[in-house]
Structure 1
Amino acid sequence: MTDVQRVQVAPERLERWLAGFARRHPQPEPVVTPDAVELVSPDGARAWIETPWGTTSGDDPLADLIATATRPRRLGALLVRRNSHAIGIFDGAELIRHRVGRHYVQGRTKAGGWSQQRYARRRGNQAERAFGRAVQDAAEILVPVAGTLEAMILGGDGQAVRTVLADPALAALGPVVARHQHSVLGVPDPNLRVLRDSLPTFRAVTIRLNAEARGGAEN
């Protein structure tokens, strides 16, 4: 697929976006695929609305799409970088429990030789302790309720997130992560504000538009 633009639409604005698409490109026909609902208009405009929560073959796929996208869900959140982490549980739009931690991890050095090696070991030990505290908080907050979570919001540094999730203490989160595949959000150093902001970013609906559909597209 070439010359395609991606837009992000909040679930609460999806119905309005679909109505706008139909005004600009009359009589779009919805086609349901395993991971998207495709809109095909006679004027050549096409939109692929990604459906990470699954699709349905019901009589009104667009109504089902809106209902699925807007349904309140219970989600866990794990945001990790070397210097900080944020753990949380969202029940719908409400952050019902959270914990934030900050850590001191030295920056990189340009020194060479033995000094650089000692510095690297010290930095590695600091990062290991920081990730250990993230594991502890996730084990206390997320693991006990893992069976009630529909998905996990993952954010921060991808390697840091994978390192934390690989700890055996968080094995119960593995099925939750696998249930709803989503890329790690590139959030800044986690804090409470970043944690709260991760929810609308995670829930946003991704729509791909071809060249014919982009003229005057709303987002």
Structure 2
Amino acid sequence: MVPAGRFARWVSNFVTAHGATFHSAGPGLEGRAEDGSWFRASLPFGTVYDGPAEVSDFLDAWTAPADWGLLLARRGGYAVARLHGERIVSSKVGQRHVQGRTKAGGQSQQRFARRRDNQARVAWQAAAEHAGTHLAGLRGPLTVGGDHAGVVAVVEMAGLEDLPQHWISDVPGTPRRASLEAAVGDALSLAVEVHNS
């Protein structure tokens, strides 16, 4: 992931390292260097780019959505935010206790598994309540990350399944305020795939 504001410098460094680079466009921006190395950059939120094969035009084609949401969910924690452009206008980060795994066997293991599932369900319900509050009436995209099953459950419980969704990379640990802010940065960054020859 490369923040949009750093991409021009990133491309310049790529050219310095690999030599003259030919650019092509669609559905993102691709660069192929004379040594065989290449990069492929995509705009955030699945935005398709088919303009001129120039870095400046590629960057000018991107603006952050005026109204979009972010939802992170993992067992035991969640973070939800509503954003206007790059600014968080409302958010909530919370935690709920979820039993850890046990090494016990037999009925004890089944009992712990049921308790864990119930606790996770309560955590997802809490996350869905806050998502419903902060993202009510949202029309823009929803960026999501964390435990896949948990995210799907929260999105459905909050009634947000009709929004266009974009997954970000896995959220390490229990979501906290720092995780939320990092996820906002990731959501607004360009996805860049690189192959060095």
Provide the TM-score with structure 2 as the length reference: 0.86
Match of 2:163 in 1: 175
- Tell me by how many angstroms 1:25 deviates: 4.3
In the alignment of these two chains, the number of paired residues is 194
Match of 2:49 in 1: 55
The one-letter code sitting in structure 1 at the alignment partner of 2:172 is V
Match of 2:185 among 200, 206, 217: 200
Match of 1:165 in 2: 155
Match of 1:217 in 2: none
Alignment of 1:106-117 (within 5 A): 106-117=99-110
SS at match of 1:175: coil
Note the alpha carbon deviations across 1:99-154, whole angstroms, 9 max, x for none.
Answer: 12211111111222222222222221111111111111111111x2321x2x2221
Note the alpha carbon deviations across 1:78-102, whole angstroms, 9 max, x for none.
Answer: 1111111111012223211001221
SS at match of 1:174: coil
Note the alpha carbon deviations across 1:25-67, whole angstroms, 9 max, x for none.
Answer: 4542221232x3211233433221223321123x454222212
Match of 2:77 in 1: 84
Question: Where do 5+ consecutive residues of structure 2 fail to align?
Answer: none
RMSD value, Cα: 2.2
Check whether the contact 1:30–1:39 (CA below 8 A) recurs between aligned residues: yes
State the identity %: 27
State whether structure 2 residue 31 is matched by structure 1 residue 39: yes
- CA–CA separation in structure 1 for the residues paired with 2:60 and 2:161: 26
The one-letter code sitting in structure 1 at the alignment partner of 2:163 is P
Check whether the contact 2:68–2:82 (CA below 8 A) recurs between aligned residues: yes
SS at match of 1:96: strand
**Structure with a larger share of its residues in helix:** 1
Alignment of 1:1-219 (within 5 A): 8-34=1-27, 36-51=28-43, 52-57=46-51, 59-69=52-62, 71-73=63-65, 74-142=67-135, 144-147=136-139, 149=140, 151-167=141-157, 169-170=158-159, 172-177=160-165, 181-212=166-197
- Tell me by how many angstroms 1:184 deviates: 4.8
The one-letter code sitting in structure 2 at the alignment partner of 1:175 is L
